[in-house]
Structure 1
Amino acid sequence: MCLIVLAWQVDPACPLLFAANRDEFYERPTEAAHWWQTPPDLFAGRDLRAGGTWCGADRRGRVAAVTNVREPGATVATDLVSRGSLVADYFATDTGARDWAEQVAEIGAAYGPFNLLVADPARLCFVSNRDSAGVRDLPPGIFAVSNGHWGERWPKTERAEQGMAQRLAAGNPGAESLFDLLADRTAAAESELPDTGVPRAQERFLSPPFIAGEHYGTRASTVIQRYADGMVHFYERGFAQHGQPVHRIHQSWSVGST
């Protein structure tokens, strides 16, 4: 997952609006979003190589999503635990967002560089093993996270936050509108490109919210809406090379249902 934008307790009718793109190599085997048997009550896609997931939601109203943190040239240990398990394992527990984030903060060194957002009906927390602040309890607002450190302003995160704010102000935070936000393939201007240590051509290629390439790009776009009445809608759109659509999924349920 390389872009997450969400509105937390901004719209009283829909306290959690979540939109995200997962960017990955097309060759990496992946299963589309579905109900898992273990952990039960989890609806999410699955990384068939490592077994975890990039984002998911469950019947208790919990939501979680993870991105990696870009560190070009860094030495990567070979014994690290998959970041996708940080999401899947949350739903295997009975803990709330804050408790899980605190547990993750204690074991974060066992994973590659990550940004993790975890929510339950009452709280939204951010934790990263590249953030010295520890667990952050996020106040009501609009937040976007990509592959940088907390607070870094990249063109795609600024565009996502602005797009979410505009849709909320216009009273149009529906799924189609959020998918339009995620589908933006416009590269950042040369003067706006971040400097993350990769060549400029690669920096430009990675700069849009939606990436469409030959070997690497946006594999899935996800929209999750959790309404005040307990209804949850989970939408996923899958993509192949050059952004060609391959599936559309919509699942809905009520928090507390079985």
Structure 2
Amino acid sequence: MCIVAFAWKAHPRWPLIAIGNRDELHARPADGAHRWEKPDHLLAGRDKLAGGTWLGISEQGRLAVVTNLYGFGPPDPDRASRGDLLKDYLSGSGPYADIGAADYANFKPFNLITVTPDEALMHSNRPDKTVKMLGHGIHGLSNGPVDQPWQKSPHLNQSLAKWIATGSDDPALLFDGLLDRHSYEPKEPSRPSPQAGPEPRNSAIFILNPVYGTRCSTVVAIDHSGKGVFLERRFAASGSVVGESRLSFSWPAA
């Protein structure tokens, strides 16, 4: 994902809500959200080149979503794929299954949210490995450092907050805020943050571009009983909808 807003125990019915857009090269092949065959408790899209994912749910009680982190030099193809970190954590097997013990320095720069029924954590690996517990409320990630969020991130957070404030019970309505194509101009950073990636800092929540843009929008919501819904809407380079997924799953009740 390149932007995500996350509500942790802030809604009367849905204690966990995550919404976001995945921005990527349109030519990079990927499978849409589906239940994986192995392991079958994992629901996620899949990057066909690297084999990992950008957002996923495990019915064993794990959610993870990652964003690229710009401003720390050019991409390094020799570093491990961020999608492998999520894949192993969500599946519960592989060298990165114990995410707390993983060497984050081996990966390309990232921001990461992981959630279990008991806690929500924010992770980052630049400039150093950091792990922060999230309190109840709304949190957001984009391609900037956690303490210097890009301007579009607060706007998506506000969209989620407004939906909660209306008392709406339909998570599908959250797709509307993910379609925002307004470009948000960045404020002057408090310290230098060089760009290193295909997405400008003044990008929109929904990026319409024939080469690199929003590939899919995702809404995940889990209620107090552990019943969850995973909604995904996929887009062509033109911005037209080319596919949708609606997956139901179970989550351990807190």
Specify if TM > 0.5. yes
- Report the alpha carbon displacement of residue 198 of structure 1 after superposing the two structures with TM: 4.7
Secondary structure at the residue paired with 2:145?
A: coil
Cα gap change, 1:212/1:197 in structure 2, threshold over 3 Å: closer, same or farther?
same
Amino acid at match of 1:102: G
Cα gap change, 1:85/1:209 in structure 2, threshold over 3 Å: closer, same or farther?
same
Unaligned runs of 5+ in 2: none
- Report the alpha carbon displacement of residue 155 of structure 1 after superposing the two structures with TM: 1.8
Q: Within 5 Å, which residues of 2 pair with 1:1-258?
A: 1-71=1-71, 74-93=73-92, 100-104=98-102, 107-130=103-126, 132=128, 134-172=130-168, 174-189=170-185, 192=187, 197-198=194-195, 203=200, 207-255=203-251
TM-score normalised per structure 1: 0.87
Q: How many residues align?
A: 246
Unaligned runs of 5+ in 1: none
CA deviations 1:88-120 (Å, max 9, x no partner) are 1112218xxxx944223xx10111001111101
Amino acid at match of 2:81: S
> C-alpha distance in 1, partners of 2:212/2:77?
22
More helix by share: 1
Secondary structure at the residue paired with 1:159?
A: helix
* Identity fraction in percent: 37
> C-alpha distance in 2, partners of 1:255/1:27?
34
Asked if the contact 1:101–1:125 (Cα under 8 Å) also holds between the matched residues in 2, the reply is: no
> C-alpha distance in 2, partners of 1:148/1:83?
16
Asked if the contact 1:131–1:150 (Cα under 8 Å) also holds between the matched residues in 2, the reply is: no
> C-alpha distance in 1, partners of 2:157/2:135?
15
CA deviations 1:123-156 (Å, max 9, x no partner) are 1111111154721111111001001111213221
Amino acid at match of 2:111: N
